[in-house]
Amino acid sequence: MKLTKTGVEKLALPDAGQVLIWDDYTRGFGLRMTPGGKTYIIQGRVNGRTRRVSLGRHGVITTDEARRKAKQALAALGEGKDPTAEKQKARALSVTLAEVAEAYISDRRDLKQASVDNIRRHIKTTFKAWANKPAAAITRDKVATRFRQKTAESPAQANQSFRVLRALLNYARATYRPDDAPLLPENPCTILSDAKLWNNIKPRSRTIQLERLGDTWNQLQALREAPEQTTISRTTADIVAFLLLTGTRWSEAATLTWELVDLEEGFFRLLDPKNRNPVTLPLSGPALAILEARPRTSEYVFPSRTQSGHLKDPRGVFSKLETAAGGHVSPHDLRRCFRAIAGAAAVEYWKTKLLMNHKPGNDVTIKHYTETSDLRYLKPEADLIAAWILRQAKLAAAKVVDLETRRATA
């Protein structure tokens, strides 16, 4: 039949499924009827593929309007223009950087929460101006300009944020492929390598000098035992001492829960550490004593002020340690310090790496022939490290007494 307004309106809708009626005068122009209504369509072939495209619902557009649109659409098919591919391309080209980031986070289910938070932070800060604009609009020039701006603020943060952007845009190129062509012909972040713009950041090496370790430990113990200390201050002092004795990362110690600690056997477990290698670690005598003295007021060993979460900010105690330590101290400084103490205590390097839960790397013996998940057999080494710290603390205390005696008799 020839599709006309009168003829279309006389057609009864099906009770289920769909019915297709094709126009006898315009080849490829038709009407699709479902229980929900009538829609004008076209169908044709382009680039070897059959395409069916909706033109509009009857009543929203007239039959004559639909026929005109059909002729235009069919002509476009004849010229090789694929409307489905065009829609996919338009949709892909409109995807914003923020949408790419959320899709990346959703697909990368193995990402740690810290990584997720880091991605979202950079989207809201470094790339705020691009967040709600199409990712495809990011060019090499824009990347270079913004990278230089960020470098002026912080070279390290510039590197970090643009590594995040590089990963997001690589993901976009791999997943948004209209007509099986990448959304971006290249990752615009390649300009940072091509033009050698990446900042040369020297790895941090700051630590507490070993000759100051005794004074630092004694100061820390004074903070732990001071009667005027608040609960949160005592908790912070305890976790700092724990970090120094175990070499664990801040995130691992802060999120430690009582169910992962065995005080009777003297060990604790890290189920999801940074390197994704679940490990059981021994507690030295002093580390065990710290945990035994801690009140169980929360699921966390080191709870926050409200007891509902874990401790998040140790800066108060670190600021009080600066005089004894000889400068600013951070949680990762204590981890480096642990490595230095282990060396001074004559603990073999491979055993120190295991206690710090470092990946074995290319060390075949450790990787394939050494137990790396249950390290309770390294308790003697943990005790050696703790004993070295206590010995330095005793020597430092003796020096203080000697100095005070000399002043008193001068």
CATH number at residue 168: 1.10.150
Query: What CATH number does the domain containing 220 carry?
Result: 1.10.443.10
Domain membership flag for residue 242: yes
Q: What is the pLDDT of residue 316?
A: 86
Q: What does the pLDDT read at residue 45?
A: 87
204 inside domain: no
Q: If pLDDT is split at 50, 70 and 90, which confidence band does 388 have?
A: very high
Residues 234 and 364 in one domain: yes
Q: Residue 361 has what pLDDT?
A: 64
User: Does one domain contain both 271 and 126?
Assistant: no
Model confidence at 59: pLDDT above 70 = yes
Domain endpoint, select from 26, 50, 81: 81
Is a pLDDT exceeding 90 seen at residue 163?
yes
Tell me the backbone φ, ψ of residue 75, rounded to 5 degrees.
-65, -40
Residue 39 CA to residue 61 CA, distance in Å, equals 9
Query: Is 183 within a domain?
Result: yes
How far is it, in rounded angstroms, from Cα 382 to Cα 352? 9
How many percent of the chain have pLDDT more than 70?
Answer: 95
* Domain match, 248 and 357 both: yes
Is residue 113 very low, low, confident or very high in pLDDT (cuts 50, 70, 90)? Answer: confident
Question: Cβ(324)–Cβ(400) under 8 Å?
Answer: no
Assess whether 168 and 239 both reside in one domain: no
Percent of the chain with pLDDT over 90: 63
Q: Are residues 118 and 234 in the same domain?
A: no
- Domain boundary residue among 143, 160, 194? 194
Burial (CB count <10 Å: 0-12, 13-18, 19+), residue 69: middle
Q: Is the pLDDT of residue 400 over 70?
A: yes
- pLDDT bucket at 81, cuts 50 / 70 / 90: confident
Distance between CA atoms of residues 286 and 379, nearest Å: 12
Mean pLDDT for 305-332 is 87
**One domain, residues 41 and 110:** no
Last residue of one domain, picked from the residues 81, 111, 132: 81
Query: Cα(390)–Cα(409) distance, rounded to whole angstroms?
Result: 29
Let me know: does 34 contact 13? Beta carbons within 8 Å.
Answer: yes
331-372 pLDDT, tens per residue? Answer: 888 999 999 999 999 999 999 999 998 876 666 666 666 788
Mean pLDDT score across all residues of the chain: 89
21 within 8 A of 11, measured Cβ to Cβ: yes
Q: Does residue 111 have a pLDDT over 70? A: yes
Residue 73 CA to residue 57 CA, distance in Å, equals 16
Q: What is the pLDDT of residue 60?
A: 93
Q: How far apart are CA 57 and CA 40, in angstroms?
A: 6
Contact (Cβ atoms closer than 8 angstroms) between residue 323 and residue 330: no
Residue 239 tokens, joined: 């976790």
Residue 364 is predicted with a pLDDT of 60
What pLDDT, on a 0 to 100 scale, did the predictor assign at position 272? 85
Q: Is residue 182 part of a domain?
A: yes
Same domain, 146 and 240: no
Please tell me whether residues 117 and 152 are part of one structural domain: yes
328 and 225 within one domain: yes
Residue 91 lies in a domain: no
The most confident of the ranges 126-135, 275-284, 328-337, 357-366 is 126-135
From first CA to last CA, the distance across the chain in angstroms is 120
pLDDT at 179: 67
Residue 62 belongs to a domain with what CATH number? Answer: 3.30.160.390
Domain presence at residue 246: yes
What is the sign of the dihedral through the CA atoms of 165, 171, 172 and 174?
positive
Q: What is the pLDDT of residues 192-238, one digit of tens each?
A: 999 999 999 876 657 788 899 999 999 999 999 888 888 899 999 99
Q: How confident is the model at residue 409 (pLDDT cuts 50, 70, 90)?
A: confident
Q: Indicate whether 144 pLDDT > 90.
A: yes
What does the alpha-carbon distance between residue 49 and residue 180 come to, in Å, rounded to a whole number?
14
CA dihedral 171, 173, 175, 180 (to 10 degrees): -160
Q: What HEC string does the chain produce? A: CCCCHHHHHHCCCCCCCCEEEECCCCCCEEEEEECCEEEEEEEEEECCEEEEEEEEEECCECHHHHHHHHHHHHHHHHCCCCHHHHHHHHHHHCCEHHHHHHHHHHHCCCCCHHHHHHHHHHHHCCCCCCCCCEHHHCCHHHHHHHHHHHHHHCHHHHHHHHHHHHHHHHHHHHHCCHHHCCCCCCCCCHHHHHCCCCCCCCCCCCCCCHHHHHHHHHHHHHHHHCCCCCHHHHHHHHHHHHHHHHCCCHHHHHCCEHHHEECCCCEEEECCCCCCCCEEEECCHHHHHHHHCCCCCCCECCECCCCCCECCCCHHHHHHHHHHHCCCCCHHHHHHHHHHHHHHCCCCHHHHHHHCCCCCCCCHHHHHHCCCCECHHHHHHHHHHHHHHHHHHHHHHHHHHHHHHHHHHC
Q: So what's the pLDDT on residue 365?
A: 62
pTM: 0.66
Please check the confidence at residue 394 and state whether its pLDDT lies above 80. Answer: yes
Q: Are residues 254 and 335 in the same domain?
A: yes
Chain segment 2-45, per-residue pLDDT in tens: 899 999 999 999 999 999 999 988 889 999 999 999 999 999 88
Structure token digits, residue 52: 């069916």
Residue 113 covered by a domain: yes
Is 92 a domain residue?
no
Look up the domain containing 135 and give its range: 97-194
Query: Same domain, yes or no, for 246 and 368?
Result: yes
Q: What average pLDDT does this structure show over 176-188? A: 80
pLDDT of 89 > 80? The answer is no
Q: What are phi and psi of 38, to 5 degrees?
A: -120, 130
- Total domain count, the chain: 3
Q: Which two tokens stand for residue 114?
A: 């810290």
Asked whether residue 167 falls in the same domain as residue 295, the answer is no
